[in-house]
Amino acid sequence: MNAFGYVTARTPAAAIEAVRDDGRFLAGGQDLLGELKESLVSPKTLVNIKSLPETAEVRREGATWSIGANVTLAMIAAHIELHRAFPALAEAAAEVGSPQIRNVATIGGNLAQHSRCWYYRHRDVRCRKKGGSTCFARGGESKYHSLFTGSMCLSPCVSNLAIAFAAGDAQVVVQRGRRTERLTIAELYADAWRTAAAHNSLRADDLILRVELPVTTRRSTYLQVAEKGDFDWALVSCAAAAKVDGTRVSDVRLVLGAVAPVPWQVAEAGAFLEGKEITRETADRAAEIVLRGARPLGDNAYKLPIAKALMRRALLKLVAPA
Amino acid sequence: MPWPENPRYFGKATPRAEAPAKVTGRAKFTTDVALPGMLFGAVLRAPWPAARVRAIELAKARSAPGIKAAVAVQDGAFDVRFYGQELAAVAGVSRQAVLDALPLIAVDAEPRPFVVDEIAAMQPDSAPVVAGKANLGEGQARTNGDVDTAFAASAAVVEGVYRTQVELHHCLEPHGQAVAWEGGELTAWVSTQGVFALRDGFARALGVPQSNVRVICEHMGGGFGAKSSLGAEGALCAKLAQAAGAPVKLILTRFEEALAVGNRPSSWQKIKMGADAAGNLTAFQLESFGTAGFGNGVNNGAGSGSAAFPAPYIYKFAASRVKQGSVAINAGQACAMRAPGHPIASAGIEAALDDLAAKLRLDPLELRLKNDPSETRRREYALGAEKFGWKEKYRAPGSSPGPVKVGIGCAGAAWNSGMSRNTQAEVQVTTDGGVEVRVGTQDLGTGSRTVIEVIAAEMFGLAPEQIAVRVGDTRFPPSGTSGGSQTTSSIAPAVYDACENALTELKKLSGLDDPRGANWKNACAKIGGTPLQVRGRWREGLAAGGGAINQGGVQFAEVEVDTETGFVKVRKILVVQDCGAVVNRLTCESQINGGVIMGLGYALYEQRIMDRASGVVLNPNFETYKLPGPADIPAIEIVLLEQPERGVIGVGEPCTVPTASAIANAVANAIGARVPDLPLTPDRVLAALGLVPATERGGARAEIDAAFRAVAQLPVHAGATEAFA
Amino acid sequence: MDEASASQAHTAGAFSRRQFLRGLGTTAVTAAALGSTLRGASTAPAKNDDARSASAAPLALKVNGELRTLTLEPRVTLLEAIRVHAGLTGPKETCDRGTCGACTVLLDGMPVYACMMLAVEGQGREVTTIEGISRDGLTPLQQAFVEHDGLQCGYCTPGFVMSLTALLKKNPRPTETEVRGACAGHLCRCGSYPKIFAAALAASART
């Protein structure tokens, strides 16, 4: 860890100003401290954003849930009304890390977290994401890597919350300079799809303020498979949401995590399911649409059957009697 | 056996003597040592898997703020053979000062070609790990009987290639020490399995007499074989302290623990096994290789310097042919790890045995009862099967209904506990009735301290809490390194002998016929100002080990396998463990739990992963080197097969041997297909189920075939490791 | 307070008013600590607080109810501050990456990884270490650990005890699943888990 200064910001504007001099925002720090310890980043200043006003609350404002950037994952996992309204989010939050991590890790930090690719995280490997010329996962150890990518980097999006938020059509409210902008989850990660060096579409001085989740009558769920029973990264994760009438669904969102640098969503799959009954067959058909064009590497083809099983289970769970 | 007939404590459940200190955080481990003026040390490690180092320039680091000393690992040029090899070390006033100074060390080095996987290292065009030497070292072989004829006459023959991974010890307390010099005398607080071995190590490395070295290890956070001798970091720490003229504490990081402090070697095992129609084993053939790191010799250190292992392990075949090789790669060297060789041996042969049972349509337990030559294990299988409900639970492979399939499996193990016959103990009794027992052993977390306490309490008729036990200091009577499950069988007789001698003296001194228990205070009152102090020595008749006894153990596993995701969950493990005379039931059971859980990690999660292109260890942390956590722990039922007439024996190692094999067999039973490689991760389970196109298994098919051909053609070194039948 | 005066305040060994007041609300502060704090207390909140240069500067941490002023660089972790600078070695450093739980301390009663927080972030919070809960002999949970042998080498033990202490406070009658969940952020290489679970359940029944 290099030496750095530290400041606690009281307003978004002050935070952005302070971070511009080669700084990094510090919220829960569970991702950033790891990067600092491996010397992957060496900022001059850490800007503590935990004291920004109104960022640690969950509020219902009309047709929107407003979830502050500093709301912790533990708060989300334990929020009864939110859990009732959109279970996928609480379920996704509960699968993040461990109790110790969830007690401090924030919504904003989870969305903005950097790649967990073991080449990227390695102090002595200079991969594409770090500006090097090689993606070591290609022809190397690609077990945890993407099935889809739009760039030379294979590092997948591993934010559980991004997957759940994508299924909920959430928008991320970002302070960008003097403007406040709303990004869809797809927009939040679009750059990671296109650009090997990008983790997401945020600029260094973009500050996530909150996430807005539309109040919905859609049911939702989040499922994941990892190698260990708890406290492990998902090999594949899946969030699904839909309006349910008996076993018939409409307005379906089906999103996969850990298979692409972005939350992986194929609109055609939702269109296919529109108005259909969820059966093993229709679910599998939708899953095939989502996975169409996947390009597995040497070690990660196994993600395909897992993804398919998760999508089927998630859809069947949505239509299962409560 | 002279152990007490109606014991109050011996063989009962006595809480660990140091437990209150450990649950309150009071227990001081090596990492907690703080000496006046103590500096922090850290090691600079090679960022290349292979290189020729020409020179190391320390001046800039030495003059950095807060830095008090810098030393190179050696003068002049030398070879780097693995990523993470020690180059130099610095000591300074804070961790930050030291970490800032390490990059200031200039290393003039020329990176060299390297190879980090076994198959590539065995190809003719591979880079040599040691210049001028073949990567595949000399082999070892043994043949009994006419193998080809025996196979030809067999009713069923199975052939398979089974693979085990490199496993890391990952003790939670990293390797480390604090070293202080006073004149020519050195005191070292070390996290070690052998205080006397470390004294020897420091004396050699620093060129001082052993009598000038004192090693202390009061509490230590696990060893599992990796802390048996002085590591490079220990010598560097002592040199830094010498150069700085101040005490230095140097504790490795988790990252370094993954690189440079030992591991369990890998294995590729090509096994051919035959039986007659009734299931009697007829013939066995093994060709194997594996890597123990950058060295490839035969048994070149610490019990597992080579990748060879006992074969055909616990089974007897009229005809068998075994050929084993070790291949060097540019990676950290192996060392002893909990039951060196045995879990590897077990993983191959027990899998082949179940595959043979499947081919013969036999219950694999029946096959074992028929063929296991050990009477102890056959008894254990019968006892365990009853408790486990094997008969009720057993289904033909793959016949469990639904997508989440249930399966059961079993496996056996053998062990010969070591013994340190030079062990001594010292008992001091004071006139107020106080008892202090001192043994220069160390407590790795196995409960050695409590073993001593229990024996002394039993012998003197006192409560365990009346006994003060001191261990972990070279100033105490000598004992061996805690390895080979030998500590209890080494210290128990010496403590017994010392207590007996104390009683003899006390009888004389007090004139009482029986100074024990209720008479203790009165007897001790006669001691007066100079405490009574006696020695005891290890003696025959109280413990077994040292190759004299064959300990058996068996385990049963029940698993569920999600055949759509490949996820394996272990529901239950039942252990029947041969334990001789149990000294302390509580800590004995804890060790067995630990052995099972370490075996579960070997079965399902753990593997060191090297990157072929960069040569680095790719998973040098607990995020990607996965250890079993709270959610992964099955119900563990322990049946202690007590045979007190055999005396005290060790259990720490044998209990970890069959776990992974039993789990792998249970998975095969559940899904009706063999997952031939450990660990049994979802990708491999799905591949075994045919749901994923077959991928490369650590190398191209032709390369793997070439590797086995190279083993078959190896020149042979006499004296292959004996089987443990 | 603006950045310049904030750094001046820090050279004087103070911390911000907000943090000071929060500290006061929970436990009494010693007179000596009060004196040194009041000297630098600021008067008006502003856009940025508590600006620190990269160099070591005094920082007030409340550990086990005791306010300590430690001179630390901002890059020093809470764990290093506790172990090296405050001399409380109960919390252990094992993975240094928030994966093993041996460093677990309570922050305002919540288990957190002390290795994954900067010491500066501990300002104005209540930090409780294993030493802090062990002042009056063994708690029922610790007693149960002793009796059930919920430990072997003992290196992970303080961490488990802290997480389970927090669990039992929040949920005095946990199920075994809840016990496992509370321990999910911990690793024990000796494999003491079954007896740790048993100890937690026994302690729950006892309190």
H helices within chain C, ranges in order? 3-11, 17-26, 31-40, 78-80, 140-148, 157-170, 176-182, 193-206
CA distance B370 to C9: 82
CA distance A74 to A103: 5
pLDDT at residue C17 in the model: 35
C29 has a pLDDT exceeding 90: no
pLDDT at residue C32 in the model: 35
Q: Count other Cβ atoms within 10 Å, centred on residue C137.
A: 9
Nearest residue in A to B49, CA atom: A124
Q: Who's near C24: CB < 8 A, 6+ residues apart?
A: none
Cβ–Cβ under 8 Å, residues A123 and A38: yes
Task: Map residue B506 onto helix, strand or coil.
Answer: helix
| C92–B20 CB contact, under 8 Å | no
Of A125, A140, A309, Cβ closest to residue B564: A309
* Strands, sheet with C126-128, edge to edge from the N-terminal-most edge strand: C66-72, C57-63, C126-128, C104-107, C110-113
A187 has a pLDDT exceeding 90: yes
Of C93, C147, C189, Cβ closest to residue B627: C189
Of the candidates B694, B689, B690, B687, the residue with the CA atom closest to the CA atom of residue B672? B689
Nearest residue in A to C47, CA atom: A10
To the nearest whole number, what is the mean pLDDT of chain B?
Answer: 94
Q: Which of A199-213, B664-678, C17-31, C129-143 has the lowest mean pLDDT?
A: C17-31
Cβ–Cβ under 8 Å, residues B429 and B531: yes
C14 has a pLDDT exceeding 60: no
Window 82-121 of C: residues touching B by CB (8 A cutoff) are 83-84, 87-97, 99-100, 102
Question: Model confidence over A5-55: pLDDT tens digits?
Answer: 999 999 999 999 999 999 999 999 999 999 999 999 999 999 999 999 999
B463 has a pLDDT exceeding 80: yes
pLDDT at residue B718 in the model: 52
The encoded tokens of residue B456 equal 């002394």
Question: Model confidence over A105-152: pLDDT tens digits?
Answer: 999 999 999 999 999 999 999 999 999 999 999 999 999 999 999 999
* Chain C hits for B623, Cβ within 8 Å: 97, 99
Question: Model confidence over B644-696: pLDDT tens digits?
Answer: 888 999 999 999 999 999 999 999 999 999 999 999 999 999 999 999 987 77
Of A8, A29, A230, Cβ closest to residue C49: A8
Residue B556: strand pairing partners? B410, B574
* Chain B hits for C114, Cβ within 8 Å: none
pLDDT at residue B417 in the model: 82
Q: What is the mean pLDDT of residues A267-271?
A: 97
Identify the residue with better confidence: B418 or B124: B124
pLDDT at residue C84 in the model: 98
Torsion of CA A63, A269, A292, A96, to 10 degrees: 30
Query: In this complex, is the C-beta atom of C54 within 8 Å of any C-beta atom belonging to chain A?
Result: yes
| C153–B445 CB contact, under 8 Å | yes
Of the candidates C186, C148, C189, C192, the residue with the CA atom closest to the CA atom of residue C167? C186
| B24–C142 CB contact, under 8 Å | yes
Q: What is the mean pLDDT of residues B253-264?
A: 97
Angle between helices B585-604 and C193-206 (to 10 degrees): 120
Distances (CA, A) of C80 to A233, B9, B89, B683: 27, 42, 21, 39
* Chain B hits for C84, Cβ within 8 Å: 95
Contacts 24+ apart (CB under 8 A), C62-66: C62/C23, C62/C26, C62/C27, C62/C122, C62/C124, C62/C125, C62/C126, C62/C127, C63/C88, C63/C127, C63/C128, C63/C129, C63/C132, C64/C88, C64/C127, C64/C128, C64/C129, C64/C131, C64/C132, C64/C135, C65/C27, C65/C126, C65/C132, C66/C30
CA distance C27 to C73: 26
pLDDT at residue B717 in the model: 57
B568 has a pLDDT exceeding 70: yes
| B19–C156 CB contact, under 8 Å | no
pLDDT at residue B530 in the model: 97
The encoded tokens of residue B209 equal 């007499």
C43 has a pLDDT exceeding 60: no
Disruptive mutation site among A114, A228, A297, A312 for chain B (greatest number of B CBs within 10 Å): A228
C27 has a pLDDT exceeding 60: no
E strand intervals along B597-712: 635-642
Question: Residue B306: which pLDDT band, with cuts at 50, 70 and 90?
Answer: confident
Of A10, A26, A99, Cβ closest to residue C45: A10
Of the candidates A25, A314, A271, the residue with the CA atom closest to the CA atom of residue A164? A314
CA distance A310 to A225: 8
Nearest residue in A to C77, CA atom: A33
Q: Shortest Cα distance from A185 to chain B (angstroms)?
A: 26
* Chain B hits for C145, Cβ within 8 Å: 19, 23
Q: What is the mean pLDDT of residues A282-289?
A: 98
The encoded tokens of residue B120 equal 């590539």
Nearest residue in C to B14, CA atom: C147
Q: Give residue B307's identity as a one-letter amino acid code.
A: A
Question: Model confidence over B588-640: pLDDT tens digits?
Answer: 999 999 999 999 999 999 999 999 999 999 999 999 999 999 999 999 999 99
pLDDT at residue B1 in the model: 54
| B614–A124 CB contact, under 8 Å | yes
Window 67-106 of B: residues touching C by CB (8 A cutoff) are 95-96
CA distance A84 to B70: 61
CA distance B154 to A259: 49
Question: Residue C11: which pLDDT band, with cuts at 50, 70 and 90?
Answer: very low
| A225–B567 CB contact, under 8 Å | yes
C33 has a pLDDT exceeding 70: no
The share of chain B scoring above pLDDT 70, in percent, equals 97
B289 has a pLDDT exceeding 70: yes
Task: Map residue A245 onto helix, strand or coil.
Answer: strand
**Pairs across A and C, CB distance < 8 A:** 114
Query: In this complex, is the C-beta atom of B446 within 8 Å of any C-beta atom belonging to chain C?
Result: yes
What's the Rg (C-alpha) of chain C?
19
Nearest residue in A to B629, CA atom: A230
Torsion over CA: B50, B55, B57, B58 (sign): positive
Task: Write the DSSP symbol of residue C117.
Answer: S
Query: In this complex, is the C-beta atom of C55 within 8 Å of any C-beta atom belonging to chain B?
Result: no
To the nearest whole number, what is the mean pLDDT of chain A?
Answer: 97
Task: Map residue A315 onto helix, strand or coil.
Answer: helix
Q: Count other Cβ atoms within 10 Å, centred on residue A57.
A: 13
Question: Residue B4: which pLDDT band, with cuts at 50, 70 and 90?
Answer: confident
User: Counting Cβ atoms within 10 Å, is residue A248 exposed (0-12), middle (13-18) or buried (19+)?
Assistant: middle
Task: Map residue B523 onto helix, strand or coil.
Answer: helix
CA distance A28 to A48: 9
H or E stretch including B342? helix B342-360
Residue A179: strand pairing partners? A176
Disruptive mutation site among A118, A154, A235 for chain B (greatest number of B CBs within 10 Å): A118
What's the Rg (C-alpha) of chain A?
19
Task: Map residue B545 onto helix, strand or coil.
Answer: coil
pLDDT at residue C46 in the model: 57
Q: What is the mean pLDDT of residues C52-70?
A: 97
Query: In this complex, is the C-beta atom of C71 within 8 Å of any C-beta atom belonging to chain B?
Result: no
| B590–C195 CB contact, under 8 Å | yes
Q: Which of A214-228, B29-43, B319-333, C34-48 has the lowest mean pLDDT?
A: C34-48
Q: How large is the greatest C-alpha to C-alpha distance in chain C, in angstroms?
A: 56
CA distance A284 to B93: 62
Nearest residue in B to A118, CA atom: B618
Q: What is the pTM of this model?
A: 0.95
Q: Is the peptide bond before B364 cis (omega within 30 degrees of 0)?
A: no
H helices within chain A, ranges in order? 12-19, 32-37, 73-78, 80-85, 87-94, 99-104, 107-112, 160-167, 185-194, 267-273, 280-291, 303-319
pLDDT at residue B305 in the model: 59
Q: Which chains touch A (3 or more CB pairs under 8 A)?
A: B, C
The encoded tokens of residue A145 equal 């890597």
C3 has a pLDDT exceeding 50: no
Q: How large is the greatest C-alpha to C-alpha distance in chain B, in angstroms?
A: 83
CA distance B240 to C46: 48
pLDDT at residue C40 in the model: 35
Torsion over CA: A155, A161, A164, A166 (sign): negative
Each residue of B91-103: b (16+ CB within 10 Å) or e? bbbbbbbbbbbbe
pLDDT at residue B547 in the model: 65
CA distance B165 to B603: 10
Cβ–Cβ under 8 Å, residues A75 and A28: no
| C151–B621 CB contact, under 8 Å | no
C24 has a pLDDT exceeding 50: no
Of B564, B611, B683, Cβ closest to residue A299: B683
| A124–B695 CB contact, under 8 Å | no
Q: Which of B165-169, B643-647, C33-37, C105-109 has the lowest mean pLDDT?
A: C33-37
What's the Rg (C-alpha) of chain B?
27
Question: Residue B300: which pLDDT band, with cuts at 50, 70 and 90?
Answer: very low
Nearest residue in A to C113, CA atom: A100
B190 has a pLDDT exceeding 50: yes
The encoded tokens of residue A20 equal 């511009």
C18 has a pLDDT exceeding 80: no
* Strands, sheet with B281-290, edge to edge from the N-terminal-most edge strand: B156-164, B267-275, B281-290, B319-326, B139-144, B716-717
pLDDT at residue B297 in the model: 60
Distances (CA, A) of A244 to A219, B13, B561: 7, 58, 31
Q: Count other Cβ atoms within 10 Å, centred on residue A322.
A: 4
Query: In this complex, is the C-beta atom of C58 within 8 Å of any C-beta atom belonging to chain A?
Result: no
Question: Residue C4: which pLDDT band, with cuts at 50, 70 and 90?
Answer: very low
